[in-house]
Amino acid sequence: MPISRRIMMAGLFVWTAGLAFTPLLDWRSPNSGFVTRPDRGKLTVVYVGADDCAPCIRWRRERRPDFQRSVAFQRIEYHEIIAPKLLSALEDQYWPEPMRHMRSLIVKGGGGVPHWFLLRKGRVIVSAGGDSAWDRQVWPMIVMES
């Protein structure tokens, strides 16, 4: 007896939906129902910029308000490091002591601001800078990780 097209399409839909949502769940524990993922720690986002940097000003004026109103923002910790001058953006006085080690990642990446760091339990998981880094790398990772 042939399977009708409607049943086949419904089955394909259920199978596809199952695949789409499987990563959100962990496998069943042998003794109970579904278990939650282990606590990976809250995501921390650090923005680095300068008051005389045109891309930094543009991001803070145009993109930061939407980011701060987003659901993802409610789930993260957010810090800003903003120097008055681009040339002084890496000076000690603008960086909290526990974050100073991250400056070498900016220099290694070309030294550009705006720059964003994403940290999990104090460990840098993303370091990206430049005008397009927000859309290309940082925002997608925040959405995925938060």
Mean pLDDT of the chain: 82
**How, if at all, do strands 77-83 and 123-129 pair?**
unpaired
Stretch 91-99: mean pLDDT:
96
Rounded-to-10 torsion of CA 97, 43, 119, 110: -100
For the segment 53-84, what is each residue's pLDDT rounded down to a tens digit? 999 999 999 999 999 999 999 999 999 999 99
**DSSP 8-class letter at 31:** T
Per-residue pLDDT at 47 exceeds 70: yes
Taking the model in full, what pTM does it have? Answer: 0.72
Domains of the chain, earliest start first: 43-145 (3.40.30.10)
Least confidently predicted of 26-40, 48-62, 71-85, 118-132: 26-40
Angle, CA 135 vertex, CA 23 and CA 114 arms, to 5°: 125
**DSSP 8-class letter at 32:** S
Tokens of 15: 């199978």
